[in-house]
Amino acid sequence: MGTADIVTKEYMRGNAVFADAFNYLIYNGKKVIDPANLKEIDPTEIALPFDDEAKAGKEKDGEDKNRKAQGTEWSSVKNESVRKKTAGRAGKKTDAVQRYRDLLKFAVIKQDERTSYVLLGIENQTDVHYAMPVRNAIYDALQYGRQVADIAAGHRRNKNDFSGKNNGEYLSGFLKEDHIRPVITLVIHFGAEEWDGPLSLHEMMSTRDMELLSFVENYRIHLIDPAKLTEEQLDHFSTSLKEVMGYIKYSKNKEQLLKFLHTDTHRSIEMNAVRVIKTITNTPIEVSEEEGEIEMCKAIEDLIAESEARGRAEGEVRGEARGRAEGETRGEAKGMIEICLDMSFSKEDILKKLQEKLNISLQQAGEYFEMYGKHIV
């Protein structure tokens, strides 16, 4: 995992920033999701296809085997993006599909005397992922499958749950009254360039036959892209996410960046946010482990002032060096011209010698001659 992945993940892991991102996405910035009601959970998504043998036997032995097989179909293993062969209890080999999300949190959302239980996932992208709709669809599908499997496993541990249930409920392990929780995945683009990848499954397909596509589910991604955020939209963030997104958005325009920082209502931001800005935009901000916050506007103005002062100093040094070199060249030219005139050299010969000795152009040699030459008799 690269530095950018580490700092963005650590930054978005904070409940306040995490909640702010989803309040922006779902509620237009209204503070509905409470950071205190967020709980981080294992982001690993792993699934084994349902065993075909579950559809088979009605014999008791077969049923027991099916029950054991389905009870071991799902697990959590912390390895990224793998497919492996796993032997089922029923003696059958099946493909395990595993994906590792960036962040996944369980949320209790209370609004208008209603309580919703949802799973919220975040994918941090420093570069555009041109297959993001498929990637997120896999994450969400695996999570839904995992919920179904967990519910089924719970029922199979308590045999009384199937009392009076029909064959379909028994075989699937999922009862008519069972429910799964919604999963919402948000992509956050930590890049100054505009996201130019597809935002839906249909956009990834070559066909434009709308009649045909009407039968293809069109999975769409939810995206926060700093390049496309307006100033009004930036104001919908209530945490340092505003400064991070705004800084990235204007990072290639110094005047716009300073204007944004000067009008910003937040005087200071936390160090995790500063680390993201420093890493993503290559801004040489000093990050102190001892300080908890930093005033971004002052920090950037100090950097610009320091850079301008350094530029002036370097210019002065270069100017002095050029001046000294110019003075030395003029001195040599004057001496050569006087000697050559005393020796009755022609103007043409003097200009030629100036060019050869001082490695200068004919024009410059002529200028020196006009400055230091005497009337040739």
Backbone angles phi, psi at 94, to 5 degrees: -135, 155
Which of these three, 267, 291, 315, is where a domain ends? 291
Which of these three, 257, 291, 325, is where a domain ends? 291
% of the chain exceeding 90 in pLDDT: 49
Is residue 279 domain-shared with residue 346, that is, in the same domain? no
Picking from 318, 125, 328, the residue whose alpha carbon sits closest to that of residue 226 is: 125
Domain of 140, in residue numbers: 3-44+97-291
Residue 354, pLDDT score: 86
Residue 262, pLDDT score: 80
Place of tokens 């064959």: 167
Surface-to-core class of residue 231, CB atoms within 10 Å of its CB (0-12 exposed, 13-18 middle, 19+ buried): exposed
3-class SS string, 204-269: HCCCCCHHHHCCCCCCECEEECHHHCCHHHHCCCCCCHHHHHHHHHHCCCHHHHHHHHHCCCCCCE
Overall number of domains in the chain = 2
Is residue 197 domain-shared with residue 346, that is, in the same domain? no
Is residue 256 domain-shared with residue 362, that is, in the same domain? no
Residue 84, pLDDT score: 45
Is residue 31 domain-shared with residue 180, that is, in the same domain? yes
Residue 95, pLDDT score: 57
Residue 319, pLDDT score: 58
pTM of the model: 0.70
Residue 344, pLDDT score: 63
Using CA atoms, how far apart are residues 294 and 268, in angstroms rounded to an integer?
5
Using CA atoms, how far apart are residues 26 and 34, in angstroms rounded to an integer?
13
Is residue 110 domain-shared with residue 168, that is, in the same domain? yes
Using CA atoms, how far apart are residues 128 and 319, in angstroms rounded to an integer?
45
Is residue 282 domain-shared with residue 314, that is, in the same domain? no
Is residue 341 domain-shared with residue 276, that is, in the same domain? no
Q: What angle is formed at CA 240 by the lines to CA 239 and CA 243, rounded to 5 degrees?
A: 130
Is residue 228 domain-shared with residue 315, that is, in the same domain? no
Place of tokens 């919703």: 116
Question: 73 in a domain, yes or no?
Answer: no
Write the DSSP string, 295-319: -HHHHHHHHHHHHHHHHHHHHHHHH
Is residue 17 domain-shared with residue 120, that is, in the same domain? yes
Question: 69 in a domain, yes or no?
Answer: no
Question: 76 in a domain, yes or no?
Answer: no
List CB contacts of 357: < 8 A, sequence separation 6 or more.
332, 336
The two structure tokens encoding residue 202 = 């249909």
Is residue 209 domain-shared with residue 145, that is, in the same domain? yes
Strands 114-125 and 183-189: parallel
- pLDDT digit string (tens) for the chain, length 377 residues: 689 999 999 999 999 999 999 999 999 999 999 999 999 998 877 655 544 434 433 444 444 444 444 443 443 333 334 444 444 444 555 555 667 889 999 999 998 888 999 999 999 999 999 999 999 999 999 999 999 999 999 999 998 898 989 999 989 999 999 999 999 999 999 999 999 999 999 999 999 999 999 999 999 999 999 999 999 999 999 999 999 999 999 988 878 888 888 887 766 888 999 999 999 998 888 777 767 677 776 666 655 555 455 555 655 566 566 667 777 788 888 877 877 776 667 788 788 878 888 888 998 888 888 888 864 44
For 131, the enclosing helix (H) or strand (E) is: none
Using CA atoms, how far apart are residues 38 and 108, in angstroms rounded to an integer?
7
Write the DSSP string, 321-337: HHHHHHHHHHHHHHHHH
Residue 14, pLDDT score: 96
Is residue 249 domain-shared with residue 317, that is, in the same domain? no
Which of these three, 237, 261, 291, is where a domain ends? 291
Using CA atoms, how far apart are residues 130 and 22, in angstroms rounded to an integer?
23
Question: 250 in a domain, yes or no?
Answer: yes
Picking from 97, 109, 102, the residue whose alpha carbon sits closest to that of residue 141 is: 97
Question: 244 in a domain, yes or no?
Answer: yes
Question: 158 in a domain, yes or no?
Answer: yes
Using CA atoms, how far apart are residues 333 and 351, in angstroms rounded to an integer?
10
Is residue 273 domain-shared with residue 132, that is, in the same domain? yes
Place of tokens 């994918």: 123
Question: 299 in a domain, yes or no?
Answer: no
Question: 60 in a domain, yes or no?
Answer: no
Residue 204, pLDDT score: 97
Backbone angles phi, psi at 4, to 5 degrees: -60, -40
